[in-house]
Structure 1
Amino acid sequence: MLPLPLNLATLAVSLIAALLLGWLLFHLAIQLGFRAKRLREQSDPGVLGLPFETVAIPGRSRKPLFGWWLPADESHRSVVILHGWGSNAEQMLPLAPPLHVGGYNVLLFDARNHGRSPGASFSSLPRFAEDLDAAIAWLQATQANAARSITVIGHSVGAGAALFSASRRDDVMAVVSLSAFAHPRWVTERYLRQVHLPAPIIDLVARYVEWVIGHRFATIAPMNTIKAIRCPVLLVHGDADRSVPISDARVIARSGAPGGLELLEIPGGDHDSSEQIPEYSPRLLAFLYAAEQRRP
């Protein structure tokens, strides 16, 4: 085989270099665009007058996840709470007082790349679910009596992770999903449309993200995972949510859950809706008490 002329060889090398540079820039753009911001806790449950201890939860990264354990007197019922993207355990604290008054132990923790937990190469719904599984394992290993009845509550991506985790477990008493999206593909499209990317680029980004996280979007989509959950599920969603529209919650609700499903729409509630917690906490507690009664 005759060697390429020098100018053609140079052109080929330049083309390969340009393709590699383009791939690197594409990779960096996706990583930066979808990276979760780090927001560290500034206070603790003590400011609400709640008893607590700081705990270290063994995680998948072999580095402990940061958490707070809020025990209730001699209670065998516990709630594990997982925050959303770019959030932390402190931002879920408004849920703790009504649960504690209701007789529930509470475990709040930070997923990887969030709050005071260790960093990781990337965050994703499946990794949130892995960290939730680690928190449940810690509860079962260190608080045997309190782990006799476990409920999981998640917000946004944390809600998707709670549903994904519960779809693969049979030791969860109930799941409460706060502001979950129905499908990660829809979230990706909403985000990328804001920067006016064409449909083929959006499809390329979606496929790339699936490759990075190691899961197809359809496999982890709440509208699909909920179909395998055998315990009661409560969906809570604000009808004024500007990040994830209420229509997503209604899609999930229509998918159904073998263990039973309720949808609670919060009038005027946005994506956080923490200010509405006093309003809907009686309904939340009633749901948990009913779920407890349904246990075999």
Structure 2
Amino acid sequence: MPELPEVESLIRFLAEHVVGRSVARVYPVAVHALKTYDPPVTALEGRTFDGVARHGKFLDLRAGDVHLVIHLARAGWVRWNDKLPAEPPRPGKGPLALRVRLAEPEGAGFDVTEAGTQKHLAVYVVRDPMDVPGIARLGPDPLSESFTPAAFAELLDGERRQIKGVLRDQSTLAGIGNAYSDEILHAARMSPFKLAANLSEEERARLYAVIGTTLTDAIERSRGLALRDLKAEKKSGLRVHGRKGEPCPVCGDTIREVSFSDSAMQYCPTCQTGGKPLADRRLSRLLK
């Protein structure tokens, strides 16, 4: 799933390639992905993109008073093409969800795609990004100037959930998902099951610092890469997430996994849980 660093890289790429260019045609290929109808997607045609922004994991391409907002969900992506096919795309079972053809240079544009059978990608055309429910309920951005140590401490005060869940909750903190929460907690040497309210001042300060460095480092690793290379760069840069059974790059212990109904998290017992493996709840249910 694209998270804050990948979406930030997408935004930077699109800012260079679409700002100042007008829209010739918009093709909503997967109608189920379109979550709004007023303004229609055709309202973008003839307008010029004049800004690109990120709201958590949401892409926001502004064209005057109309915004094209995209949430890539788990398997969505943006693919740039200097020369799109001349013929209009046909709705079907393929990954293409939306195509935006620019007026100049002729034939250039981008596709929004979604792999897999579970379709959760969402496209909105709105006059105000706050009209998108997911944006309206976002918490603070961890890379914003307003996200200070004091603001982070305030978020954690009285929070009785496990810290892993807090980091992933978009209404608490925008942009961090399953992968980078694993990376952040590993770098902070902290158990994902630790209650947020029980963090000491030193642990809060350490976690705050690691959130910033983990996200900014990931963004910097992606700087200058083509869109097609961003996913591979993310995977290669992860130290624990998705690396079950591999040695921890810090201590050499075996990276373990805890599985849930629709996701899994990875961690290092030595670095994060005092050497004690966490119970895999899905496996525990099978053993009953």
Question: TM-score w.r.t. structure 2 length?
Answer: 0.29
Higher helix residue share: 1
Largest Rg, 1 or 2: 1
Question: TM-score w.r.t. structure 1 length?
Answer: 0.29
